[in-house]
Chain A
Amino acid sequence: MEVIVEQLGTTNNVLDRHKFDAHTLWLGRAFDNDVILADEHVDARHARLTFDPDGRLWLEDLDSVNGIRRPRHKAHIERTEVKSGEIFLIGRSRIRIYLGTHPVAPAVRIRLSEVFLLWLGKPQVAVTLALVFVAAKVLGTWLSTIGEFRWSQVIERNLGEVLTFLALAVGVYFLSVLFRRGGNFLAHLSLLILVFLLSSLLEFALSVGFFNAGDRWYPALERLDAARGYLMLFVYLWSILYLAFHIPLMRRTLVSAVIVAVIAGVSNLPKDDSVRRFVDQQTFPLKQEWLPRSLLLVQPQSAGKFEDSLQEILETLDDKRNEALEERDEDEGETVEDSAAPEMPAPESPPETEPGDAPGEEDESVAGRGAAAPGAEQPIE
């Protein structure tokens, strides 16, 4: 009769595995046992596994100091029938007992994505990616520097990002060690760099899009730009859940999707947009994205066609005007109630004028506002 005894860690990870073909097995700290448990809370001869004539397996306590229990149960076991796959605590050691006939799950197909993620952990891959990262940072800094380029700028501008990456990789590494899944620091670091490079590439592609596009495409491009961040977060989480925690495909896909959805939801909560509206009234509201003229890939429209499209603005403005009027009426309803109480208008200072203004450049209205006389004299009524 075949019995498999596994010694487990605290998270039920297998530390050691023994296979026996015998009727009786002895478990204890003494060296003449079949399963030797190096645990000071285990008796020299602590327990015995025996098959009865019907082929059933029994676990028996041999009057030990700390006894036998099942995890999460207080009751000590004197003698019990063992079901294949059951876990017991002997002293403070954790063992799992299988029968040789215990079925196993079908083989998991090796996934390319997982092979790729593990490949990222190779030192030569990590070093190559790190070099590409540095090159990209230097290039990016050079292209966005207007004026004299200094190497120290590359460090100044990117130090924060690099430290964040390192801290994140170290953090995930320690988490994975903590959960005893075996950390892979280089893979974490490579993954971060890869996600960053991918994101930068997408960002550049989008800016080419903005540069070429007209206003009709801006909303779609803006949504893509927002999606880019969430996509990168998803890819990173999905990979980390495999690399650091060995979570299977379906579960990690689900977990990553839920986390990204929650973050997206929180960051898109409705907020007061009155500040944005005021800015939109006062400034040119469109996206400003300029790139070298060689990246202009679209055919321009004729001036006449562009003018034809302007008629639509009037209709949109009509709607906007009606909306704004309704909103203002609501606001005014509130302020009328407020002003029922007598209020003192703040005396306004007389218009300030700069000496030497050219005539007509700075016309100031000379209507008296309030009754503030120069030198705070009281008005003569």
Chain B
Amino acid sequence: MTFSSRWIAAGLLGLAAVLDVSAQSGGQYGDRYSALFESLRPGLFTVEVVHRASNNKNAQGSAFQVSGAGVLATNYHVVSEYVLDPERFSLRYRDAQGETGPLEVLEVDVLHDLALVRIDDDLPEGASQPFELAESEPRMGATVLALGNPYDIGISLVPGTYNGLLENQYRKNIHFTGALNPGMSGGPAVNTDGEVVGVNVAGAGNSVSFLVPVAELRALLSSVSEEPSSLEEMRERVVERIIDHQAGMIDDLVAGDWSLEAFGPMMIPREIRSWLSCSGSGSETDSQTPWRESHSNCTLNDRIYLSRSLDTGPVELIFGWYESDELNAFQFARVFEQNTFMPFNRSGEDDVTEFECREGWVAFENLAPVNFKASYCMRAYLDYPGLYDVLYVARALLPDSEGLHVHYTLAGVGHDKALEFHRHLLGALSWK
């Protein structure tokens, strides 16, 4: 899609949302929502992460009651600061009447950005009505109502539509057309019967928003025991679950034979899975850049939130091809070495180690007689032992000023699984 047509599409979506709201603001629909809103309100909460030393609110999100015993569901990213550093932060709720009290974390699911918390003292009055979870998936286009506390300005109801599961994600979230704003995270999205179909999790602007499917919440609820795990146990399980999950993703990725497509002189994998989004780009020779280059770029931009500064999970598979009729071999080498390669996931200064690499000239049997200078780099996560990011580049110069690079990044993987992917990918490539 070109830039301008995207704008138009975005504009149409916005217009649709305005019409939707105006149609519902009066008459029987509006009355129906207001009754529903009133009945659901007692089960809605605001969750606050409080900096202990200064007693200042550090983060705020929404939550909703899922059992009579005062268990609330919210997003992991709402409570993550408390889970990661309970000595610096505390966790508290605020209900519809403005009553506040402490919360404890029962269980977390970082893969789906969910957390279960429990009200630590006596249940506030009128908060004994847990939300019902929907048994069936809504139909495409069905009305879904998102509830939450945007920007902490008060519990709000946002009507929108259910648009199915996102095909370009491995852990498929619901595509919800309705404006989710900061602070609504962790709130429920319900159908017109008031049953939860998903949990508010993210927005991409212009009413394009995402919900965690209720099935994941149901799975988390069934796994939780009466006695909460310690925060340390939870953090340990996080590593196991991420490694397992990424291993499953890689197993899925390497299963079966890939159908390859031509790219320059090479045959490469492109949209081999529906959850990989591929794009291509290229440039032609001109006086400033007397060479041609093309890139094939396939990504899984499906990130697991670990902390404010750290996420993991995305995959990137990039091929580059360069050729020039005008440059001599030295000049071409200068062009070729300009490329930079960076990790795909976000990390802060205190989240990961520096990259550690092996680099050398390698001959691949399936790509003979061309030799590649290969660089395999890994960095470790400081707080999640056993979890690594992998960054790989193999580059080759071909005769007549042509060059190729094969580049991929994996995030949040174990070493053995990463190597399995590595072997599969490099073994699958061939010349045209």
**Given A147, A291, A293, A345, which contacts B56 in the complex, CB threshold below 8 Å?**
A345
Contact with B along A346-367 (1 / 0, CB 8 A): 0000110111111111111111
**Given A293, A354, A367, which contacts B205 in the complex, CB threshold below 8 Å?**
A354
Q: Tell me if A324 is interfacial: C-beta within 8 Å of chain B.
A: yes
**Given A284, A291, A353, A368, which contacts B391 in the complex, CB threshold below 8 Å?**
A284
Q: Tell me if B376 is interfacial: C-beta within 8 Å of chain A.
A: yes
Q: Tell me if A380 is interfacial: C-beta within 8 Å of chain B.
A: yes
Q: Tell me if A146 is interfacial: C-beta within 8 Å of chain B.
A: yes
Question: Is A285 within 8 A of B354, CB to CB?
Answer: yes
Contact with A along B357-368 (1 / 0, CB 8 A): 111111111000
Q: Tell me if A11 is interfacial: C-beta within 8 Å of chain B.
A: no
Binds B, one of A14-22, A104-112, A251-259, A313-321: A313-321
Q: Tell me if A220 is interfacial: C-beta within 8 Å of chain B.
A: no
Question: Is A294 within 8 A of B329, CB to CB?
Answer: yes
Interface of B is mostly: mixed
Closest partner residue, chain A, to B186 (CB atom): A367
| A298 and B361 alpha carbons, distance in the complex (Å) | 8
Interface size class of B (residues with CB under 8 A): 35 or more
Q: How far is the CB of B420 from chain A (nearest CB, A)?
A: 11
Question: Is A281 within 8 A of B347, CB to CB?
Answer: yes
Question: Is B185 within 8 A of A361, CB to CB?
Answer: no
Q: Tell me if A266 is interfacial: C-beta within 8 Å of chain B.
A: no
Residues of A within 8 A of B183 (CB): 366-368
Contact with B along A296-324 (1 / 0, CB 8 A): 10111111001101101110111011001
Residues of B within 8 A of A314 (CB): 378, 415
Q: Tell me if A292 is interfacial: C-beta within 8 Å of chain B.
A: yes
Question: Is A357 within 8 A of B204, CB to CB?
Answer: yes
- Chain B contacts with A in 37-74, Cβ cutoff 8 A: 51, 53-61
Residues of A within 8 A of B208 (CB): 357, 359
Question: Is B204 within 8 A of A363, CB to CB?
Answer: yes
- Chain A contacts with B in 262-281, Cβ cutoff 8 A: 274, 277-278, 280-281
Question: Is B426 within 8 A of A367, CB to CB?
Answer: no
Question: Is B58 within 8 A of A367, CB to CB?
Answer: no
Residues of A within 8 A of B343 (CB): 282
Q: How far is the CB of B26 from chain A (nearest CB, A)?
A: 25
Q: How far is the CB of A283 from chain B (nearest CB, A)?
A: 6
Q: How far is the CB of B315 from chain A (nearest CB, A)?
A: 13
Question: Is A381 within 8 A of B98, CB to CB?
Answer: yes
**Given B51, B55, B57, B336, which contacts A290 in the complex, CB threshold below 8 Å?**
B336
Residues of B within 8 A of A367 (CB): 59-61, 75, 77-78, 182-183, 185-186
Residues of B within 8 A of A38 (CB): none
Interface size class of A (residues with CB under 8 A): 35 or more
Closest partner residue, chain B, to A215 (CB atom): B359
| A359 and B174 alpha carbons, distance in the complex (Å) | 11
Q: Tell me if B355 is interfacial: C-beta within 8 Å of chain A.
A: yes
| A343 and B54 alpha carbons, distance in the complex (Å) | 6
Q: Tell me if B428 is interfacial: C-beta within 8 Å of chain A.
A: no
Question: Is B334 within 8 A of A303, CB to CB?
Answer: no
Q: Tell me if B110 is interfacial: C-beta within 8 Å of chain A.
A: no
Question: Is A303 within 8 A of B426, CB to CB?
Answer: yes
**Given B61, B202, B287, B329, which contacts A293 in the complex, CB threshold below 8 Å?**
B329
| A100 and B87 alpha carbons, distance in the complex (Å) | 94
Q: How far is the CB of B343 from chain A (nearest CB, A)?
A: 7
Q: Tell me if A219 is interfacial: C-beta within 8 Å of chain B.
A: no
Residues of B within 8 A of A364 (CB): 202-205
Question: Is B347 within 8 A of A360, CB to CB?
Answer: no
Q: Tell me if A371 is interfacial: C-beta within 8 Å of chain B.
A: yes
Residues of B within 8 A of A54 (CB): none
Question: Is B181 within 8 A of A350, CB to CB?
Answer: yes
Known: A300-B363, A303-B363. A317 touches B378 (CB 8 A): yes
Q: Tell me if B423 is interfacial: C-beta within 8 Å of chain A.
A: yes
Question: Is B53 within 8 A of A342, CB to CB?
Answer: yes
Q: How far is the CB of B415 from chain A (nearest CB, A)?
A: 6
**Given A143, A212, A343, A355, which contacts B53 in the complex, CB threshold below 8 Å?**
A343
Q: Tell me if B303 is interfacial: C-beta within 8 Å of chain A.
A: yes
Chosen A-B contacts, 7 in total, with CB atoms closer than 8 Å, are: A310-B419, A342-B56, A356-B10, A366-B185, A367-B61, A370-B59, A371-B57
| B residues whose Cβ falls under 8 Å from a Cβ of A | 1, 3, 6-7, 9-10, 51, 53-61, 75, 77-78, 88, 94, 98, 149-154, 166, 168-169, 175, 180-186, 200-206, 208-210, 277, 287-291, 301-303, 305, 327-337, 340-343, 347, 349-350, 352-365, 371-372, 374-380, 382, 385, 388, 391, 393, 395, 397-399, 415, 419, 422-423, 426
Known: A214-B360, A360-B302, A381-B94; 16 extra A-B contacts, CB below 8 A, are A143-B331, A146-B335, A281-B347, A290-B333, A307-B422, A312-B358, A313-B356, A316-B356, A317-B378, A318-B380, A328-B382, A351-B182, A360-B301, A363-B204, A363-B210, A367-B183
10 A-B pairs with the lowest CB-CB distances in the bound complex, closest first? A353-B205, A368-B183, A214-B360, A292-B329, A300-B361, A356-B6, A290-B337, A280-B354, A290-B333, A367-B185
